[in-house]
Amino acid sequence: MNKVRTRYAPSPTGFMHVGNLRTAIFEYLVAKHNNGEFILRIEDTDQTRKVEGAVDFIYNTLKLCNINIDEGPNNKGKYGPYIQSERLPIYKEYAEKLVQMGKAYYCFCTEERLEELRKEAEKNKVAFMYDGHCKNLSKDEIEEKIKNGEKYVIRQKMPKEGISVYNDLVYGEIKVENKLLEDQILLKSDGYPTYNFANVIDDHLMGITHVIRGNEYIMATPKYNLLYEAFGWEKPTYIHVSMVLGEDGQKLSKRNGDASFMDLYNEGYLPEAIVNYLVMLGWSPETNDEIFSMDELIKIFDPSRISKSPSVFDIKKLNWVNAHYIKKLDIESLLNITVPHLKEAYDLSDKTEEWIKKLVSIYQDHISYGKEIVEVTDLFFKEKIELNDECKEFMSAEGTNNTLKVFEKEIENIKEWTVENINDAIMLTKEKASVKGKMLYMPIRIKTTGQMHGPELPDTIFLLGKELVLNRLK
């Protein structure tokens, strides 16, 4: 059996949305589960959409996600070049070969003629399909046109009868009527290949054994297979994956304002948590477990367990997964994903490093992504706090005023401002005001923080500082 080789082949258009990244993760897991190789190929045949610096962006994203590239533009193997715009002579050679074999033909139709056909199709309410006008040109006619400098494309000659059948690892047997297959363009008039053609040539020449891509290509796959058959090449194993939808039910896209990987990363989501979440989006393990490291995923990944149904990108679920990873971070890593957001939102010039470190650490179990630290800690950065209705209702309970009066005195008596002494003040309040449990802690928390829940109360009060706490109590 051939060594398993998969490829991730993005277009260098700048960002990587999460649906795209999920495909890369699936491809990586298929390769590594089988001790195979994972290749990065840059598909830049559409030069109009190319974004400067996008290739580095792709590299950085994969590196952050712990997806190691075995071969690619920056670590060349023996199957390069790995950027399609550097492979143009290869595509021309194979397109010409197909013409000689009678499997493709030169098409000289002008844009005007094609536009007429499109209008005609629209008028008749049918899908536009090229009519094969140039399919039967004689050798002399072709040579004449080329000599006259007429522009041409090379089109694939499709069978018009019968049915094409192939097997997909997720969707099973797929049948497509050949009459639905258009004589697609393989080589454009500017010498660039179309996406479909370049894919087949590159996948074969690079020894790709498994092709994993979006299920929008399911019906087009027979076109690919006809090319493999024309050259007498072995076809790869196909794994089509359903799309990732936004919460609005639309396909995820940057245009809709959906988050890309970098957006999430910049908000303080952890790459390993994003990877873990994306794998579970449309794939399930044999157990009910939901948290996996990359090594564990490599061990258990079975592509036949990929779902046929579209998945919805659920930010609440991502938050749940990410919170799990945040709880396990060491303090330095936690500071890295939170402090930049705090600095952007608040003036920390009068805070010591020790104070900031303690603030972040007491909220470690209360945030699900780095930037969330800003909204949960705003009570430390404002003079006045507003109570919501639930808090007000609680504060109207009998005895709360007395508890707060006693606590205020105990706070005033503290000489050295430490967590231990604050804790003692709470315990003395318990004794002197004859209250306990909720009736002890809740009034103090609401009055000092404006909230009913939060981290350990003595730690919170310590960070607020004696002056601010007394102001709020008064």
How many whole angstroms separate alpha carbon 320 and alpha carbon 414? Answer: 40
How many whole angstroms separate alpha carbon 183 and alpha carbon 162? Answer: 15
How many whole angstroms separate alpha carbon 3 and alpha carbon 30? Answer: 12
Q: Alpha-carbon dihedral of residues 99, 104, 107, 112, nearest 10 degrees?
A: -160
Q: Which residue in the list 103, 145, 151, 254 is annotated as catalytic?
A: 254
- The tokens for 444 are 């103090």
How many whole angstroms separate alpha carbon 45 and alpha carbon 56? Answer: 18
How many whole angstroms separate alpha carbon 21 and alpha carbon 258? Answer: 14
Element at 39 (helix H, strand E): strand 37-40
- The tokens for 258 are 């959906």
Annotation marks residue 3 as catalytic: no
CA geometry: angle 87, 93, 99, nearest 5 deg: 140
Is the Cβ–Cβ distance between 6 and 212 less than 8 Å? Answer: yes
Residue 63 bridge partners (DSSP): none
Is the Cβ–Cβ distance between 224 and 250 less than 8 Å? Answer: no
How many whole angstroms separate alpha carbon 345 and alpha carbon 353? Answer: 17
User: What residues are labeled active site?
Assistant: 254
